């Protein structure tokens, strides 16, 4: 009876998401929704694969695309569901050279990206530089051949576009992986925030006026982190997550919220939406059974079994030697409902619920609908 209740709850959330998609799709007033996204693997739709040729092999993509697409997920990411809500195409990676579709914008997000250190491959400021090149080249091409305007954004399109940011998780993750103390990690946060603020200011100088900013999720709840950094003397919260990792994420998010408020005060002609992704994801983990999930701190695809099913030496879809024995990190059976896909990233099922909560506007400040940028 309990499992049927969980399934029913999940179906209600999917129906809610579908209904939002239909409603929002009708509210763009015939305009072409254009999104430019900047971030890391949470929203990378193939950038790492296109840019460095690094394979993101099976079983990634098995649930929806039926093949790997460069996404670190069994199916769709939150950004994919948000595009669906606008009846827009999925965002093509900026670096994709074979049959990209830039009609609805471009995705500059690359797995592993952070804000620091700047000027490293695919750091946030490099992604913004790539956008500036994309914009300049696009307008040059349209000027030479007006017919290209049907497949590329116009100058007005760049002004009316939504500029989305989802970055910062790797800054904290990289810092903790270097065995920095909690206080040393916290001291890095002002510089992280300054990079995000500078990126928004630069795009504003280029005519961008509509911004969508995700804060970072509960880093200490990722199976990877609990498996690698947990222990007898490590403080865990009530959900079993690493307390000091999550506290660092909260400090970053508080600062990011203030940055968004500062930008609203400074950029009077801009609209800046701050979205509390942390609250959405933490609720999903704490109340996992309510949403029909099981084992919220265990990866679907990994090696090692309960409680985390994660081993950094053999990640999802890979094989390798552990204690002299060849082993493989395989995915759980299809149909089983996990929050975490590979110990670091969320499953499509989790992303569907995350997206439905984003679309609800209950976690947005100010609480504008996601389609506001293309319906006015």
Three-state secondary-structure class, residue 332: coil
Q: Annotated catalytic, 214?
A: no
Tokens of 124: 């946030």
Q: What is the separation of C-alpha 256 from the centre of its chain, rounded to a whole number of angstroms? A: 16
Given the residues 342, 355, 356, 364, the one annotated as active site: 342
Q: How far apart are CA 177 and CA 173, in angstroms?
A: 6
Contact (CB, 8 A) for 344 and 72 = yes
Given the residues 345, 355, 356, 364, the one annotated as active site: 345
Q: How far apart are CA 61 and CA 168, in angstroms?
A: 25
Q: Annotated catalytic, 276?
A: no
Given the residues 21, 41, 295, 355, the one annotated as active site: 41
- Whether the ω angle into residue 354 lies within 30 degrees of 0, i.e. cis, is no
Question: Which strands form 162-166's sheet, in the order they lie side by side?
Answer: 105-107, 35-39, 162-166, 210-214, 271-275, 364-365
Q: Annotated catalytic, 312?
A: no
DSSP secondary structure string, 170-189? HHHHHHHHTT--HHHHHHHH
Tokens of 103: 């009609």
Q: How far apart are CA 150 and CA 94, in angstroms?
A: 18
- Whether the ω angle into residue 59 lies within 30 degrees of 0, i.e. cis, is yes
Largest CA distance in the chain: 65
- Whether the ω angle into residue 365 lies within 30 degrees of 0, i.e. cis, is no
For the annotated catalytic residues, the residue numbers are 41, 342, 345
């Amino acid at each position: 009876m309990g499992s049927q209740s969980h399934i029913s709850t999940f179906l209600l959330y999917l129906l809610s998401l579908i209904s939002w998609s239909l409603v929002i799709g009708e509210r763009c007033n015939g305009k072409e929704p254009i999104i430019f996204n900047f971030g890391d693997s949470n929203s990378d739709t193939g950038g790492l694969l296109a840019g460095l040729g690094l394979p993101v092999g099976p079983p990634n993509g098995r649930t929806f695309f039926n093949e790997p697409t460069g996404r670190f997920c069994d199916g769709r990411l939150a950004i994919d569901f948000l595009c669906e809500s606008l009846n827009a195409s999925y965002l093509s990676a900026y670096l994709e050279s074979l049959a990209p579709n830039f009609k609805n914008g471009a995705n500059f997000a690359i797995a592993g990206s952070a804000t620091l250190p700047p000027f490293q491959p695919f750091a946030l400021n490099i992604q913004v530089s790539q956008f500036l090149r994309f914009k300049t080249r696009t307008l040059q091409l349209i000027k030479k051949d007006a017919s290209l305007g049907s497949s590329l954004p116009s100058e007005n399109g760049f002004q009316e576009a939504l500029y989305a940011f989802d970055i910062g998780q790797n800054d904290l993750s990289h810092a903790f992986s270097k065995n920095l103390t909690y206080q040393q990690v916290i001291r890095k946060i002002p510089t992280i925030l300054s990079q995000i603020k500078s990126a928004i200011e630069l795009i504003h100088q280029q005519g961008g006026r509509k911004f969508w900013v995700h804060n970072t999720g509960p880093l200490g709840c990722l199976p990877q982190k609990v498996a690698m950094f947990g222990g007898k003397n490590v403080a865990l919260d009530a959900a079993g997550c690493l307390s000091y990792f999550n506290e660092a994420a909260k400090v970053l998010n508080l600062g990011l919220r203030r940055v968004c408020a500062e930008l609203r005060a400074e950029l009077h002609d801009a609209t800046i939406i701050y979205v509390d992704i942390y609250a959405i994801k933490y609720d999903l983990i704490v109340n996992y059974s309510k949403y029909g999930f099981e084992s919220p701190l265990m990866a679907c695809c990994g090696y090692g079994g309960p409680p985390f099913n994660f081993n950094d030496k053999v990640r999802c879809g890979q094989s390798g030697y552990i204690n002299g024995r060849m082993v493989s990190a395989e995915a759980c059976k299809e149909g089983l409902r996990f929050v975490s896909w590979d110990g670091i990233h969320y499953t499509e099922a989790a992303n569907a619920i995350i997206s439905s909560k984003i679309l609800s506007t209950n976690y947005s400040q100010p609480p504008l609908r996601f389609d506001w940028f293309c319906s006015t």
